[in-house]
Structure 1
Amino acid sequence: MPPAEQRDNIIININEAAAQTQFQNMKFAVKTWCKSGRARVGLLQLKCTSLVQGATSPEIEIETPALLLTTRKGLPAFIPPDHLSFLPSPDSRLLQFSPMHFMEGPNSKTISDIGGVHQLLGLQGYGFVAVPRDSILSLPECSSSNKNGASFETPSGRFLVKPLEYMKMISSMKPDLWVSLADEVSASVTVKRNKASVDRTITWLDHCISLKPRDGALFGSVVGGCSVEERQRCAHEVAKRNVSGYYIGGFGLGDSIDERSTFLHAVTDVLPKEKPRQVCGLGLPEEVLQGVAAGIDLFDSTYIYHLTLEGFALIFPLNDKCKQYESDTQLCSMASDYTKINLKATVYRKDASRIVEGCECYTCQNHTKAYINHLLNVHEMLAQILLEIHNTHHYFSFFRLIREAITEGKFEEFRQKFIERRREHLLAPSLGACELQTSVR
Structure 2
Amino acid sequence: MSEKKPFSFELKTTDGMARRGEITTPHGTVQTPAFMPVGTQATVKAMYPGQVRELGADVVLGNTYHLMLRPTAERVAKLGGLHKFMNWPHTILTDSGGFQVMSLAQLRKLDEEGVTFQSHHDGSRHHMSPERSIEIQQLLGSDIQMQLDECIGLPAEREEVERAMQLSLRWAERSRKQFEKMGGVERGQGLYGIVQGGDVPDLRIQSAEELGKMPFEGYSVGGLAVGEPQAVMLKMLEVTTPVMPKDKPRYLMGVGTPEDMLESVARGIDQFDCVMPTRAGRHGLAYTRYGKVNLKNARHSEDPRPLDETADCPATRDYSRAYLHHLVRVNEGLAGMLLTWNNLAYYQTLMREIRQAIEEHRFEEFRAKTKEDWARGDVAPYVWS
TM-score normalised by length of structure 2: 0.87
Change (3 A) 1:355 1:417: closer
Please name the residue that 2:308 is paired with: 356
SS of residue matched to 1:412: helix
8 A Cα contact 1:245 1:276, kept in partner: yes
Q: 1:128 aligns with which of 73, 86, 92?
A: 92
Equivalent AA in structure 2 for residue 363 of structure 1: A
Alignment coverage as a number of residue pairs: 368
The code of the aligned residue for 1:392 comes to L
8 A contact 2:97–2:133 mirrored in 1: no
Asked whether 1:249 is paired with 2:249, we answer no
Among 207, 232, 240, the residue aligned to 1:259: 232
Cα-Cα RMSD: 2.8
Do residues 347 (structure 1) and 299 (structure 2) align? yes
Tell whether the 8 Å contact from 2:31 to 2:58 is kept in structure 1 after alignment: no
Q: Closer, same or farther in 2 for the Cα pair 1:154/1:423, shift >3 Å?
A: farther
2:341 aligned residue (384, 389, 392): 389
2:328 paired with 1:376 = yes
Indicate how the Cα distance of structure 1 residues 404 and 423 shifts in structure 2: closer, same or farther if over 3 A, else same.
Answer: same
Task: Report the counterpart of residue 409 of structure 1 in structure 2.
Answer: 361
2:69 paired residue among 95, 104, 117? 104
Match of 1:188?
A: 155
Distance 1:298 1:130 in 2: 13
Confirm whether residue 173 of structure 1 aligns to residue 152 of structure 2.
no
On the 8 A contact 1:140/1:153 being kept in 2, the answer is no
1:42 partnered with 2:21: yes
Q: Does the 8 A contact of 1:64 with 1:403 survive in 2?
A: yes
Aligned to 2:267: 294
Matches of 1:285 and 1:418, distance apart in 2: 10
Secondary structure of the residue aligned to 1:295 is: coil
Deviation at 1:181, TM superposition (A): 0.5
The 3-state SS of whatever aligns with 1:344 is coil
Aligned to 2:280: 307
Q: Structure 1 residues 81, 40: closer, same or farther in 2, change over 3 A?
A: closer
Extract unaligned runs of 5+ from structure 1: 1-22, 49-59, 318-338, 430-441
Which of residues 188, 199, 205 is equivalent to 1:226?
199
Q: 1:172 to 1:43 in 2, by over 3 A?
A: same
Contact preservation (8 Å) 1:145, 1:183:
no
**1:27 and 2:23 matched:** no
Q: 1:138 to 1:201 in 2, by over 3 A?
A: closer
Q: Could you list the per-position Cα deviations for residues 6-60 of structure 1 after superposition, in whole angstroms to 9, with x for gaps in the alignment?
A: xxxxxxxxxxxxxxxxx962221111110xx211111122222xxxxxxxxxxx2
Give, in whole Å, the separation in 2 of the partners of 1:82 and 1:41: 25
- Name the amino acid aligned to 1:357: E
Matches within 5 A, 1:417-432: 417-423=369-375, 425=377
For the Cα contact (< 8 Å) 2:282–2:335, is it kept in 1? Answer: no
Shift of 1:155: 4.2
How many Å apart are 1:104 and its aligned residue? 3.0
CA drift of 1:153 comes to: 8.9
Counterpart of 1:26, as a letter, is F
Q: What corresponds to 1:79 in structure 2? A: 47
CA distance in 1, matches of 2:24, 2:140: 20
Which consecutive unaligned segments of at least 5 residues does structure 2 have?
381-385
Q: Which structure is higher in helix share?
A: 1
Within 1, Cα distance between the matches of 2:130 and 2:98? 18
| TM-score between both structures, scaled by the size of structure 1 | 0.76
Identity among equivalent positions (%) equals: 25
Distance 1:183 1:140 in 2: 14
- Matches of 1:286 and 1:154 in 2, distance apart? 34
Q: Which is higher, the Rg of structure 1 or of structure 2?
A: 1
Matched, 1:367 2:336: no
Aligned-pair CA distance for 1:184: 1.2
Q: Could you say if the C-alpha distance between residues 143 and 170 of structure 1 is closer, same or farther in structure 2, counting changes exceeding 3 Å?
A: closer
Give the direction of change, closer, same or farther, for the CA distance of 1:82–1:68 in structure 2 (3 Å limit). Answer: closer
* SS state at 1:382 partner: helix
- Deviation, 1:62, is 2.6
Between the aligned partners of 2:144 and 2:215, the Cα distance in structure 1 is 14
Judge conservation of contact 1:96–1:130 (CA < 8 Å) in 2: yes
Residue matched to 2:352: 400
